[in-house]
Structure 1
Amino acid sequence: MATAARPAAPSAKGLMPFGEWHTWYRVTGDLTSGRPPLVVVHGGPGSTHDYLLRIAELAEDGWPVVHYDQLGNGGSTHLPHKGADFWTVELFRDELANLLQGLGIADNHVLLGHSWGGLLTARYAAERPAGLRGLVIANSPASYPLWLAEMKVLRAQLPPGVDATLLRHEEAGTTDSAEYQEAVRVFYARHVCRLDPWPREFMASFFEIANDPTVYYTMNGPNEFHVIGTLKDWSVIEYCPDIAAPALVISGRHDEATPVTVQPYVDHIPDVRWELFEESSHQPHMEEPERFRTVLREFLAGLEK
């Protein structure tokens, strides 16, 4: 079992202007060191950077690390009254580009996108930005229709009665009930995070979503496997052949992002390799932290050759 980790101390924090709003960011390490900073793009959409904080440990190995909270959550501007037409993939793509430009690293960076962040970074990478040195797609489906199909497979494998409980509340529109949430936790314990208890930084992101679920509910839905939001039909498969940067795809043996949902990245990105973490579900950076750090170090070092 992974042990609790104290996040590496930041070298800078701030708010980056983004139109009328602000994006909160955190830097660990020296952005002027010459090495491409690793920019960490969290999941959700509508989560926060907290659950990915231990990736900042890579700064100890000489690679600067940038975390940020996407618009609508965490330390960034909250906009709870904005509707579905506001919360788009293009908005978050523009926010990422704005952050890279504002930090002065648009011409030299590596992206790590986790879960929804993997789709977002794949879409961004397909535009072939000149400064993108490498791309890490972690625990991310390439297609929400594929994801939804695989959720049915995983749900059918839950203990007897759990999926029936989930379906009953989904059909009744009572997904906020205690019984439904208890059934959700059964799925999460198998396919989202297998650690017990859940790490503090993981819980922090859950609390942040609960504090303002606007983005998550609008684009995703009430949980990981009942995707009824605006992303339910979205895919990046068509963009994958246009990704020119070297790519590392990561997933867990017990991941909700099953091999079926990850395979399109491997099939269509020209320069790609896939690392499967045997003891992990959706959080290998917490479930197998030592191996995760080793794999990332090797990938980053390979970009310098």
Structure 2
Amino acid sequence: MSSLLQPVTTGRIPFRTYETWYAIYGHLITPSKQPPLVVLHGGPGAGHDYLQSLGELNAIAEIPVVMYDQVGCGRSTHLRHAPLGTITIKLFLDELNNLLDALGLKEYDLLGQSWGGMLACEHAVRQPPGLRRLILEGTPASMRLAEQVRLSCYNDFPTPLRDALFLFDKDGVHTPEYQEARLRFRKTNGCRVDPLPAEMLATWDNMRSDSTVPTIMMGTSYIRTAGVLRDWSIIGRLPLIKCKVLVAHGQYDWCGVEAAEPFKRETWDAKVMTFEGAAHFLHLDQKYAFFQSVVEFLTE
């Protein structure tokens, strides 16, 4: 990691019987008084590593950036032995509120990537007084819509690869074609940077090392969501979000296109952008174009 991306501060915050690890890029109080941007990673259970480049926003526009590993992954307390029913949306909402309180953030912006955007939506519809602006990167309006877009992505796969995905989903049969299909999906509809950035590889290693949270929240299928989030939707609740919102997704994003369409329809203060040539990770696929849009949105 370059010196530009070294956090100024790292630490741990007590949360129930757990600890939340966090990093701050820049200083929370800046000459420009720009509110800190709190970044929520995806997965669930991915950790913050793949989002580290967002720390550059501090150097670009003096925006303090706060990142953290949600409990269950990374440097925070893992949940392999958590009691049944512990790992829920409410757990991560409570953790976010605990982080904001512990850091004394009275005014802040949020950027949520993928699942992090879903969590950010759940936070925003509760109309917290300190939330100023909201950025959703690669975030679906519902898991049902995300599943539909994901299935449409497979239409371009060779038949043996597509069949291997459905075979694994049905019978758990793990074949070389299944591995190839997963890799193709990640390169086409996930991160299109070639070779894959080290921070992306680190994130996938992180999820493989402890699959507790992703398995409980999402399940193990590449076809459908079977976990806690299987029926999740923010549709119908979007008007409850009272701050300005930037919704950004990629042309090939498995959480974009139709999965993001409701963000355009609901009557709220949202700007929706599609980044051509990008997939699910805009901050990697179209880094500087995305950064420019984020800075303009936060500082206008």
TM-score tier, shorter chain, comes to over 0.9
Deviations 1:206-244 (A, max 9, x none): 011011110001111226554222211111113211000
TM-score, scaled to structure 1:
0.93
1:26 aligns with 2:12: no
| CA distance 1:263–1:287, change in 2 (3 Å) | same
Q: Pick from 226, 229, 232: which aligns with 2:227?
A: 229
Structure 1 residues 240-259: Cα deviation after superposition (integer angstroms, max 9, x where no partner) = 11000100000001111131
Q: Distance in 1 between matches of 2:207 and 2:293?
A: 29
Q: How does 1:1-305 map to 2 (within 5 A)?
A: 8-33=5-30, 34-60=33-59, 61-82=61-82, 85-105=85-105, 107-175=106-174, 177-222=175-220, 225-268=223-266, 270-302=268-300
2:142, 2:287 → 1: CA distance? 27
Give 5+ residue unaligned stretches, structure 2.
Answer: none
Q: What is the root-mean-square deviation of aligned Cα atoms in Å?
A: 1.6
User: Structure 2 vs 1, CA of residues 100 and 65 (structure 1 numbering), >3 Å: closer, same or farther?
Assistant: same
**What are the superposed Cα offsets for residues 25-65 of structure 1, whole Å, 9 maximum, x if unpaired?**
00001102232100000001111100011000001121000
Structure 1 residues 269 and 249 mapped into 2: Cα distance closer, same or farther (>3 Å)? farther
Equivalent AA in structure 2 for residue 88 of structure 1:
T
Is the 2:10–2:21 contact (alpha carbons within 8 Å) kept by the matching residues of 1?
yes
Letter of the 2:76 counterpart: S
Asked whether the 8 Å contact 1:242–1:269 carries over to 2, the reply is: no
User: How far did residue 97 of structure 1 move?
Assistant: 0.7
Deviation at 1:160, TM superposition (A): 2.9
Q: Report the Cα offset of residue 112 of structure 1.
A: 0.2
Secondary structure of residue in 2 paired with 1:48: coil
* d(CA) in 1 for partners of 2:281, 2:8: 25
Give the conservation status (yes or no) of the 8 Å contact 1:51–1:205.
yes
SS of structure 1 residue aligned to 2:10: strand
Residue 157 of structure 1, CA deviation: 2.2
- CA 114–191 in structure 1, closer or farther in 2 if over 3 Å, else same: same
Residue identity in the other structure for 1:52 = L
Higher mean alpha-carbon deviation, 118-127 vs 5-14, is at 5-14
Q: CA offsets, 1:159-186, max 9 Å, x none?
A: 23211111112111235x5542222111
Identity between Structure 1 and Structure 2 (%): 37
SS in 2 for 1:82: coil
Supply the AA of the counterpart residue of 2:151: K
Measured in 2, the distance between the counterparts of 1:287 and 1:258 equals: 14
Gaps of 5+ in 1: none
Does the 8 A contact of 2:41 with 2:48 survive in 1? yes
Secondary structure at 2:72's aligned position in 1? coil
Whether the aligned pair in 1 keeps the contact of 2:161 and 2:178 (CA below 8 Å) is no
Pairs aligned (count):
297
Amino acid at match of 1:236: I
User: Residues 269, 128 of structure 1: CA spacing in aligned structure 2 closer, same or farther, 3 A cutoff?
Assistant: farther
Tell me the amino acid that sits aligned with residue 57 of structure 1. E
What TM-score, normalized by structure 2, do the two folds share?
0.95
